Structure 1
Amino acid sequence: MVLGFRDPVADAIGLLRPRTVIGPSLRAAGEWALSFDTFPHVRIGGLVRGTCWLILDGHEPVPLREGDTFMLGNPPPYVLASTPDASPRPAERVWAGAEDGFVRIGPESEEHLYLCVGHIAFDDRNAALLTDLLPPLVIVRVGDPHGGRLAQLIDLLATEVGVCAAGGPLVQNHLAQILLVHMLRAHAGRTDRPTGWLGALNEDGIGAALRAVHADLAHSWNLRELAEISHMSRSAFAQAFKSHVGIPPLEYLIQWRMSLARDALARDSLSISELARATGYLSESAFSTAFRRVVGSSPAQFRNRIRQSAHSTAVPVAPGS
């Protein structure tokens, strides 16, 4: 039994069980400003046409231009506005008046801004795998190395929002996840590299070790093997891995195994003995000991708690229905 997708980014996004909501998109004219409350996980968007300002609490106002894309990670309150000094009104009230996937501000004949936005929520049990690595704001300018591709994706996404075609929500969901992956690539590829596994993927030696771990999670990895894959001595590899990822390599391996184990137990897709083998443990007791150390309960207790929670929140079925 194999867990994961053999690629760290695909593994992480698959484990996060992303739920995507696109739109409504914003078309605006004149002076306007909308205030947004905090939102867990990720907001993503881009300017199809026009310019505006993004003002994040505690940060300087940032101009956005046509073709720019942005990603907000667990953002604090923020404002989107035509000018930095425009008086904002709550976006929630404006969004409530959306029609056919659009919110309009000002005369339709004078619209000069077209902003496509959405949000991506993750499974709370593992959301920190990604959100802990993201700054509050990532902007990719249209002229950046990844900018043109991202602008095309935003344009495709905006087109899907604007038409009522068969399979539209499915296409929107996939485009949003593709957009997320390209935003992560752009963020990870910058010289001020992010901490954690996302930035480490761009380091030849450390990245090779990470990919090897994800490709064969059931293997009994040791420090010597991972160092050899990275073409480093054990001490140099251990130091470099911790510097880039934030934790020692074998601790990363355990944490990743337990993240996948939690997900499999929550979905009840494997028995505990199968899960032990799939995550590289020679016995169920060794797996249970590691799981308890990381999660704080035994695998059986964790699975039973999830089952009880699901049962308690299930909608009762009326007799005869």
Structure 2
Amino acid sequence: MLGFRDPVADAIGLLRPRTVIGPSLRAAGEWALRFDTFPHVRIGGLVHGTCWLVLEGHEPVLLRAGDTFMLGNPPPYVLASTPDAHPRPAEQVWAGAEDGFVRIGPESEEDLYLCVGHIAFDDRNASLLTDLLPPLVTVRVADPQGRRLAQLIDLLATEVGAAAPGGPLVQNHLAQILLVHMLRAHAGQTDRPTGWLGALNEDGIGAALRAVHADVAHSWNLKELAEISHMSRSAFAQAFKSHVGVPPLEYLIQWRMSLARDALTRNTLSISELARATGYLSESAFSTAFRRVVGSSPAQFRTQARQQPHATANKS
């Protein structure tokens, strides 16, 4: 049986995140670093000090100690001591990292400590998350989730600097915990549709989503899902689309196809087994749905996945 219980855990599991943390930045004086565009997500936060984040097409943002940020598939951006400082390529500076740190200016005068990480996903399902994210999410230390996020950044920075046994494993888990908390904070900050992420905060819609994820093979219909949500069919359909961005049964199809892509990539089930596991009565019905969503037949997709077994993101 495919499917689990929690939509966030399900989605992140399908994304197969690969985390690269650090090096951390310690800086003094005037400085500015320009980062090229990169896929998926970058997360970071200030352990102490202040700096400006300048993202193309956005007003400069002043970050203070304890603030955290998340960038989703962003355009090029700059981190700087002042908004008008002339930036140099970050890649060149990062190449000189030692002991988990990049240093700018005299060590004795350091007034900034910034911890950053990059989370890349399997390209085949990356849109499950990246389509929901704006280019920039900022969480202030005084925000409802801010203190917890600041503590996670502090722990992450400590691990980067410690070079202790098991460090990369701890960093990877901390980064994924940080990602989940950032997603929660983002969902709580906006009244715009944020897909399944924001809908989980709604009691009725969230209950329906959890039911779908718990038993993706069930022949769900609008009436059943509305009853789980304790709403009429029309009210449920309208609320679901308002929060998630697509109608309930379209969401179900999209989620089933995400699971199917993952299973075909890993070659864990035959196509007929996969059809039954995703709620289709026949292989032909499953193949028709798969082709409509993905653009190729399941067999073609599996062949292509075997030729490219590891969909990897570009380096940041």
The bucket for the TM-score relative to the shorter chain is over 0.9
Return the offset for 1:191: 4.6
Give the equivalent residue in structure 2 for 1:302.
301
* Segment of structure 1 superposing worse, 248-257 or 289-298: 289-298
Secondary structure of residue in 2 paired with 1:142: coil
Q: 1:262 and 1:148, CA in 2 relative to 1: closer, same or farther beyond 3 A?
A: same
Return the offset for 1:312: 13
Return the offset for 1:281: 1.3
* Segment of structure 1 superposing worse, 280-289 or 261-270: 280-289
Which ranges of structure 1 fall in alignment gaps of 5 or more residues? 315-320
Secondary structure of residue in 2 paired with 1:311: coil
Cα RMSD for the two superposed structures: 2.7
1:187 touches 1:194 (CA, 8 Å); kept in 2? no
- Superposed CA deviations along residues 240-289 of structure 1, whole A, max 9, x for unmatched, are 11122111110110010001100100011111122112111122222122
2:4 touches 2:215 (CA, 8 Å); kept in 1? no
Matched residues, percent identical? Answer: 90
Return the offset for 1:194: 4.2
Secondary structure of residue in 2 paired with 1:312: coil
Which ranges of structure 2 fall in alignment gaps of 5 or more residues? none
1:24 touches 1:103 (CA, 8 Å); kept in 2? yes
Q: 1:237 and 1:158, CA in 2 relative to 1: closer, same or farther beyond 3 A?
A: same
Q: Equivalents in 2 of 1:101, 1:149: separation in Å?
A: 24
TM-score under structure 2 normalisation?
0.96
Q: 1:60 and 1:309, CA in 2 relative to 1: closer, same or farther beyond 3 A?
A: closer
The alignment status of 1:180 with 2:179, answered yes or no, reads yes
Secondary structure of residue in 2 paired with 1:289: helix
Return the offset for 1:86: 1.1
TM-score under structure 1 normalisation?
0.94
Q: 1:259 and 1:313, CA in 2 relative to 1: closer, same or farther beyond 3 A?
A: closer
Q: Equivalents in 2 of 1:191, 1:304: separation in Å?
A: 41
Return the offset for 1:313: 12
Q: 1:63 and 1:171, CA in 2 relative to 1: closer, same or farther beyond 3 A?
A: same
Give the number of equivalent residue pairs: 314
Return the offset for 1:84: 1.1
Return the offset for 1:309: 3.4
Q: 1:149 and 1:313, CA in 2 relative to 1: closer, same or farther beyond 3 A?
A: closer
Return the offset for 1:196: 1.5
Q: 1:311 and 1:223, CA in 2 relative to 1: closer, same or farther beyond 3 A?
A: closer
Q: Equivalents in 1 of 2:146, 2:311: separation in Å?
A: 47
Secondary structure of residue in 2 paired with 1:208: helix
Q: Equivalents in 2 of 1:313, 1:70: separation in Å?
A: 24
Secondary structure of residue in 2 paired with 1:282: coil
* Segment of structure 1 superposing worse, 204-213 or 153-162: 204-213
Q: Equivalents in 2 of 1:167, 1:194: separation in Å?
A: 39
Q: Equivalents in 1 of 2:107, 2:68: separation in Å?
A: 24
Q: Equivalents in 1 of 2:233, 2:167: separation in Å?
A: 51
Q: Equivalents in 1 of 2:234, 2:228: separation in Å?
A: 14
- Superposed CA deviations along residues 160-213 of structure 1, whole A, max 9, x for unmatched, are 100111111111001000000000011111253443111111112111111110
2:121 touches 2:312 (CA, 8 Å); kept in 1? no
Q: 1:135 and 1:227, CA in 2 relative to 1: closer, same or farther beyond 3 A?
A: same
Return the offset for 1:310: 4.0
- Superposed CA deviations along residues 74-99 of structure 1, whole A, max 9, x for unmatched, are 11111101111111111111001011
Q: 1:5 and 1:51, CA in 2 relative to 1: closer, same or farther beyond 3 A?
A: same
Give the equivalent residue in structure 1 for 2:73.
74
Q: 1:47 and 1:273, CA in 2 relative to 1: closer, same or farther beyond 3 A?
A: same
1:16 touches 1:126 (CA, 8 Å); kept in 2? yes
Secondary structure of residue in 1 paired with 2:25: strand
Q: 1:61 and 1:267, CA in 2 relative to 1: closer, same or farther beyond 3 A?
A: same
2:50 touches 2:63 (CA, 8 Å); kept in 1? yes
Secondary structure of residue in 2 paired with 1:270: coil
1:20 touches 1:120 (CA, 8 Å); kept in 2? yes
1:187 touches 1:193 (CA, 8 Å); kept in 2? no
* Segment of structure 1 superposing worse, 289-298 or 164-173: 289-298
2:139 touches 2:146 (CA, 8 Å); kept in 1? yes
* Segment of structure 1 superposing worse, 73-82 or 233-242: 233-242
Q: Equivalents in 2 of 1:19, 1:313: separation in Å?
A: 9
Return the offset for 1:45: 0.3
2:122 touches 2:311 (CA, 8 Å); kept in 1? no
Secondary structure of residue in 1 paired with 2:296: coil
Secondary structure of residue in 2 paired with 1:129: helix
Return the offset for 1:308: 3.0
2:193 touches 2:245 (CA, 8 Å); kept in 1? no
Secondary structure of residue in 2 paired with 1:192: coil
2:51 touches 2:81 (CA, 8 Å); kept in 1? yes
2:123 touches 2:312 (CA, 8 Å); kept in 1? no
Q: 1:191 and 1:170, CA in 2 relative to 1: closer, same or farther beyond 3 A?
A: same
* Segment of structure 1 superposing worse, 296-305 or 181-190: 296-305
- Superposed CA deviations along residues 117-163 of structure 1, whole A, max 9, x for unmatched, are 01001111111111111111101111111111101100110011001
